[in-house]
Each structure stands twice: as C-alpha cells, then as structure tokens.
C-alpha cells in the first residue's frame, strides 16, 4: 500500500544512513584531502604555504609516510643520474618543467667524496649507491643530503670491476635501508659472495656464497647495467669477457646466492643485453641484435623448475624512422613494460 509522507521520509533517511565508518572531521578530514594531492614535487610545498595548520600536517613524518605509500605505484620521474666517463662524473639531468623541475645543481654530490672516480651501482627508493674505491661505498639520499660512507668488508677482492651492489628500503619505510654488496671472495676466488648491510644495526651481516665455474671465476666482471629487483630477489648481469653471460640472483628472504643462465640467445655475437621486469611480473631479459628485439620471461612451473620463454619480438626500424646508419648503431638503454 502507498506510504504516507512521514513514512516516506523515514524510509529515505534509512537509505541514506552510512553503513561504514563515521564521517571524518577536523584534521582527519583535511589529512585525507591532502593525501590525494598530486605527487608532483610542487604539491606539498604549495599546500604548506597556505597556512600554519596545513604546514604542520604535511610536515608530519606520519603524513609523509602515508603520502609515499599512496603514490608508490605512480611516482613522477624527476630526472635521471647519468655517468660520464674520462673523467668519471655522476650528474643529475632533470626531466620535468617548472614548477616541478628540480634544478640539476640541487642534486650534485660534490667532489669531497671523490666523485670524479666514482661508479654508480644502484638507484632505488630515493637512494643512490656509489662505489668510490675498492675500499669504500657511499649511500646518498639526494633530497635530504644524508650521506653514509661504508667500508667494504676486506673479504671482497679489491678489483673494482668485480664489485657491485644494490640499495633498497622496505615498502613505506623512510629512513632504514639495506645495501647488498656482491663480489668475488678473496679467500676463495672460485666463489662469488654477497653481504648485507643494515642501517638499523650499522653492521654487515654474514657472508653468503655460491661456487663459480673455472671460466666464471677467471674473468667475472659486472656489467655497467643496473640491478633488477623482482619480488624478494635482486639480479645482476655478469660479463664474462666475450663469453656466455650468467645472471647472479640474491634472494633477500632466503639469504641465498645462485647462478642462473641467460635465455638461449647468441651472446657471443655481442648484441644488446638487459635485465628488466617482465610483463605481468617476474624477471625479464631483453636481447637486441641490430633492429631485432626479443623480450624473454623467466617462468617457474609447478615443480619449481625455471625456464626462459620468448615473449614479444619487434623490429625497431618498423617503430622508429631510422636511416641506414642509425639502424646499425641504435642501442636500447632502458625499457619500461606496463
């Protein structure tokens, strides 16, 4: 039967009644609004300039942590660090326009750390890891200016070409960091070793090792390509001086170091090689020969056996307008897969 006016009003109010958490008010509501600002570098400084209340909210460490977590999947690319040789200089190249452009000089390390002879090893989670010599590495946070000079454990072979590493933080963590150092064991040159430094303890952990073949031990050098983090594992591509290319995997959770092969491609032809994240997750491998590019993915079956599977292939000259000279000299420096 039809409802009266009072009954209809009561029914309408019941349908509008919230079924989740009570509404936010005051600073909690403002906090939620500010968390939804763009992750561009100018967003929070502009918000902080509105009033004292807003400045207190956005400068709170808890807010900064939540802001980073909210935007962790879509952070803006502020620029890139490039290494120039002869002499070796690591410099910052900004990519954004004003008002989000970060001046190049604002992110220069300076010469007080021997930057003229340094080598950039890793860049992740707002941190840079640099090899200053066979005895020291530097962890640098460009935006805060924090610098951590670490002595390389003496068990590593002193050849700088046989030392590499990675720096990382746990998701959402701002201050503590880990450094994973990788190299050849001075006590047994047929072993590769890894060691993890924790900024929380200020100490290096135990050594983790894996046996190398005679060929790998004699001429192992790490390529000047960045490490790749996939899940709990870090991967590095190794250059064996005109020979086959193995990959070293360090599992952060299991604390294991293993050697895995590259896909079945012609590595002796010295085409282009690159480790990367694969489409849909997992470890990927890019192989370039001339204009032909192959994207491989490492898959693990139900029995735990791993194998490489060829995914997409494409021809660069069909995507880009290249002349004959460019076809012969084009090299892929990086690739982002979504």
Cβ neighbours of residue 41 closer than 8 Å, sequence gap 6 or more:
76, 78, 96, 100, 102
Q: What is the secondary structure of 306-325 as a DSSP string?
A: EEEEEEEEEEHHHHS---HH
Structure tokens that stand for 27 in this block = 């600073």
Q: What is the reported pTM?
A: 0.76
Between 143 and 40, the higher pLDDT residue: 40
Between 245 and 127, the higher pLDDT residue: 127
The total of structural domains in the chain comes to 2
- Terminus-to-terminus CA distance in the chain, angstroms? 57
pLDDT of residue 114: 53
pLDDT of residue 336: 62
Claim to verify: residue 240 and residue 281 sit in the same structural domain: yes
Please give the share of the chain, as a percent, with pLDDT higher than 90: 25
Reply yes or no on whether the pLDDT at 34 is more than 60: yes
Claim to verify: residue 33 and residue 136 sit in the same structural domain: no
For the chain, give the number of residues. 338
Reply yes or no on whether the pLDDT at 229 is more than 90: yes
From residue 17, give the alpha-carbon distance in Å to each of 36, 140, 171: 25, 52, 37
Reply yes or no on whether the pLDDT at 82 is more than 70: yes
Claim to verify: residue 252 and residue 199 sit in the same structural domain: yes
Residue 174 belongs to some domain of the structure: yes
Region 134-147 average pLDDT = 85
Question: pLDDT class for 298, splitting at 50, 70, 90?
Answer: very high
pLDDT of residue 152: 93
Claim to verify: residue 201 and residue 224 sit in the same structural domain: yes
Residue 21 belongs to some domain of the structure: no
Reply yes or no on whether the pLDDT at 12 is more than 50: no
Claim to verify: residue 62 and residue 106 sit in the same structural domain: no
Residue 14 belongs to some domain of the structure: no
pLDDT of residue 289: 83
Question: What is the pLDDT of the chain when averaged over all its residues?
Answer: 80
d(CA 183, CA 161): 9
Between 171 and 264, the higher pLDDT residue: 264
d(CA 149, CA 141): 12
Claim to verify: residue 224 and residue 101 sit in the same structural domain: yes
Between 53 and 338, the higher pLDDT residue: 53
List the beta bridge partners of residue 196: 180
Domain with residue 232: its CATH number is: 2.120.10
Q: What angle do CA 278, 274, 135 make, to 5 degrees?
A: 120
Most confident listed range (205-209, 220-224, 317-321) = 205-209
Claim to verify: residue 63 and residue 202 sit in the same structural domain: no
Residue 13 belongs to some domain of the structure: no
Reply yes or no on whether the pLDDT at 2 is more than 60: no
- Of the listed ranges 14-18, 33-37, 114-118, 331-335, the least confidently predicted one is 14-18
Cβ neighbours of residue 282 closer than 8 Å, sequence gap 6 or more:
230, 297, 298, 299
**Domain that residue 62 falls in:** 28-71
Claim to verify: residue 45 and residue 143 sit in the same structural domain: no
pLDDT of residue 283: 93
**Of 71, 88, 105, at which residue does a domain stop?**
71
Claim to verify: residue 50 and residue 189 sit in the same structural domain: no
Region 302-319 average pLDDT = 86
Reply yes or no on whether the pLDDT at 1 is more than 50: no
Claim to verify: residue 256 and residue 295 sit in the same structural domain: yes
Question: pLDDT class for 256, splitting at 50, 70, 90?
Answer: very high
Reply yes or no on whether the pLDDT at 203 is more than 90: yes
pLDDT of residue 181: 95
pLDDT of residue 117: 62
From residue 269, give the alpha-carbon distance in Å to each of 192, 243, 287: 26, 9, 11
Between 15 and 84, the higher pLDDT residue: 84
Checking DSSP bridges between strand 79-84 and strand 178-184, what pairing results, if any? unpaired
pLDDT of residue 3: 43
Q: What is the secondary structure of 206-272 as a DSSP string?
A: --EEEE--HHHHHH-EE-SS--EEETTEEEEEEE-SSS--EEEEEETTTTEEEEEEPPSS-GGGT-E
Reply yes or no on whether the pLDDT at 49 is more than 70: yes
Structure tokens that stand for 59 in this block = 């400068």
Claim to verify: residue 110 and residue 193 sit in the same structural domain: yes
Burial (0-12, 13-18, 19+ Cβ within 10 Å), 66: middle
pLDDT of residue 308: 94
Reply yes or no on whether the pLDDT at 332 is more than 60: yes
Claim to verify: residue 36 and residue 105 sit in the same structural domain: no
pLDDT of residue 237: 86
d(CA 314, CA 322): 14
């Amino acid at each position: 039967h039809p409802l009266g006016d009072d009954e209809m009003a009561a029914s309408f109010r019941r349908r509008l009644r919230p079924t989740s958490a009570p509404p936010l008010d005051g600073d909690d509501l403002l906090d939620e609004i500010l968390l939804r600002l763009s992750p561009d570098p100018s967003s929070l400084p502009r918000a902080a300039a509105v009033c004292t209340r807003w400045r207190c909210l956005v400068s709170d460490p808890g807010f900064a942590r939540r802001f980073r977590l909210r935007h962790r999947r879509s952070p803006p690319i502020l620029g890139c660090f490039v290494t120039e040789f002869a002499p070796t200089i690591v410099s910052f190249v900004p990519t954004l326009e004003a008002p989000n452009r970060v001046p190049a000089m604002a992110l220069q390390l300076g010469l007080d750390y021997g930057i003229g002879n340094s080598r950039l090893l890793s860049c992740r989670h707002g941190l840079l890891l640099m090899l200053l010599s066979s005895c020291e590495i530097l962890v640098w946070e460009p935006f805060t200016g924090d610098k951590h000079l670490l002595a390389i454990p003496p068990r590593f072979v002193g050849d700088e070409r046989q030392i590499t590493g990675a720096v990382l933080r746990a998701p959402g963590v701002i201050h503590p960091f880990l450094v994973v150092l990788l190299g050849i064991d001075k006590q047994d040159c047929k072993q590769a070793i890894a060691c993890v430094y924790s900024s929380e303890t200020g100490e290096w952990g135990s050594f983790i090792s894996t046996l190398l073949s005679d060929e790998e031990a004699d001429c192992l050098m790490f390529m000047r390509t960045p490490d790749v983090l996939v899940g709990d594992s870090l991967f590095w591509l190794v250059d064996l001086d005109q020979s086959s290319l193995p990959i070293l995997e360090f599992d952060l959770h299991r604390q294991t170091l293993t050697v895995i092969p590259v896909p079945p491609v012609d590595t002796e032809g010295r085409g282009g090689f690159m480790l990367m994240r694969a489409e849909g997750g997992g470890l990927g491998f890019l192989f370039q020969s001339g204009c032909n590019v192959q994207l491989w993915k490492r898959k693990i079956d139900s029995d735990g056996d791993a194998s490489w599977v060829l995914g997409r292939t494409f021809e660069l000259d069909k995507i880009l307008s290249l002349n004959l000279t460019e076809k012969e000299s084009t090299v892929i420096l990086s690739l982002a897969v979504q």
